[in-house]
Amino acid sequence: MLLWLVLGAALAISVAVYITHYYYRDLLFGPPVDFDEDHFIEIGLYPNGHRGVLVLTCDDVNAATDPGKVDRLLEVADRFDTKTVFFVVPFYKGRYMVTKDSGIGGALRRGVERGHEVALHGLTHSSPRKGLLSFRKARELGDLSHSEQKRRIKKGKRILEACGLQAAGFRSPAFSASIDTLRVLDMEEFLYSSDTRIYPFMLMSNKRFCESLYYPYHPEGLSILDLTTNGDYFWGYSALGSEDLKSLKHRFDRFYENRGSFVLLSHIDPINSGKGLWVLEQFLEYAQGKDLWRPTLKALAEWWLAREVLFATSEAREDTLYVTLEKGSEFPLNNLSIRLKPNLLIKNYKIMDVNQVLLKEGKLSEGTVTINV
């Protein structure tokens, strides 16, 4: 009996450690960056010291999609100065291929010209497996070999490139990504994946688990970032209403309070049906009152890859604070904000890089300064 109690306790502790490490680490330990703050300075997590991030994403855009649906979504997003990332299925069901001269190809290029983004959403969004559940058939990458996943991802990327569309990111159809998928993406130099599941459990992004995963992270130590997606609040068609909007606002507020990156999921048909665009408009109007950075996922990934490895040291000598910034990435950190904490004994500051090149100097009383690194 004692042995079983010991084993049970050990199992419970292991599960608790596992859940804490993967799902509640951000709440407990904060953002996974090399430097956040010390006694003298605090460096902003995002450009211009914004408190949080908001990105709208839209799945299942394909050659059979009415281009007007893309245009309508862009009109709403542009009105609220919010970037949209369209996850495109290049060869939908193996029958509908996006081409340069197609209506959908033109609509997507217009979006990119206006600062939005196109990313890859599998190749066909369909699986050869037989079954009664359409959801299972839509799990394109599920159970496929590493080589077959690589073939599909490379082919999908080439189709988009032939349309003049560059894909830096990927989202798996019907949550079907595996560690093999991530390895392929890493090898093919994608900047990010963005899914509604989390490796290693690959659980759906529900409120219980993913609401506590606030920042980008590197799954399995790979170079690729995972920008975890939040659930689709627009799938209810005409049944959508104030309760869905209330739930969306609540979840967003949790991310905002914790300086998180809120990546909102939608699908091109549901968001264009019923009250989908109305819910989006109401939410974006609500978010207008927040201190948000609204980038594409590509811009967020590039920033985070540089921000996570930025290291700083600060030292007071006589009446001057000396701050040294050490970059660990090739990506720039434009509009990096540095808050200078008040100190009665320090009057001036100097900010330098590791080669002692002066980046900025001035009076500590400025409070917060912004530089490009």
pLDDT for 178 beyond 80 = yes
221/42: higher pLDDT: 42
Provide mean pLDDT across the span 184-191: 96
Single out the residue of 215, 206, 196 nearest to residue 59, CA to CA: 196
Residue 118 has pLDDT above 50, yes or no: yes
Q: What pLDDT digit, counting tens, does each position of 226-273 carry?
A: 998 888 888 865 577 788 899 899 999 999 999 999 999 999 999 999
Task: Read off the amino acid at residue 12.
Answer: A
Which CATH number applies to 52-290: 3.30.565.10, 3.50.50.60, 3.20.20.370, 1.10.150.20? 3.20.20.370
**In the block, residue with structure tokens 């990934």:** 301
Q: Is the pTM of this model over 0.85?
A: yes
Tell me the per-residue pLDDT of 199-229, one tens digit each, with 9 for 90 and over: 555 444 444 455 568 999 998 889 999 998 8
Looking at residue 210, its pLDDT comes to 52
Q: What CA–CA distance (Å, rounded) separates 34 from 41?
A: 14
In whole angstroms, what is the distance from residue 278 CA to residue 290 CA? 20
Output the pLDDT for position 204: 43
Q: Give the span between the Cα atoms of 362 and 347, in whole angstroms.
A: 9
| Secondary element (H or E) of residue 255 | helix 242-257
Domain parsing of the chain, residue ranges: 33-51+305-373, 52-290
* E strand intervals along the chain: 41-43, 52-61, 84-88, 91-92, 96-97, 117-120, 169-170, 192-193, 197-198, 203-204, 225-226, 229-230, 261-267, 292-293, 311-317, 320-326, 336-340, 348-353, 358-363, 368-371
Given a cut of 70, is residue 13 above it in pLDDT? no
pLDDT, position 223 = 94
% the chain with pLDDT above 70? 85
- Cα distances from 317 to residues 19, 320, 348, in angstroms, run 45, 5, 10
Q: What share of the chain is helix, strand, coil (3-state, %, to 5)?
A: 40, 25, 40
pLDDT band at 347 (very low <50, low <70, confident <90, very high): very high
Summarize the confidence of residues 51-72 as an average pLDDT: 98
- SS3 of 16, please? helix
Q: Which of 35, 25, 22 is nearest to 308 (CA)?
A: 35
pLDDT at 127: 74
Q: Which residues pair with 363 in a beta bridge?
A: 348
- The pLDDT of residue 4 is 64
- Rounded distance, CA 152 to CA 318, Å? 61
pLDDT at position 20 is: 55
154 vs 184: CA distance, rounded Å:
9
Distance CA 213, CA 142 (A): 24
Helix axes 276-287 and 242-257, enclosed angle (nearest 10): 30
Residue 231 pLDDT: 80
CB atoms within 10 A of CB 207: 13
Quick: pLDDT tens for 65-117.
999 999 999 999 999 999 999 999 999 999 999 999 999 999 999 999 999 99
**Is residue 187 predicted with pLDDT exceeding 90?**
yes
- Alpha-carbon distances of 316 from 40, 56, 344, 346, rounded to whole Å: 9, 43, 12, 7
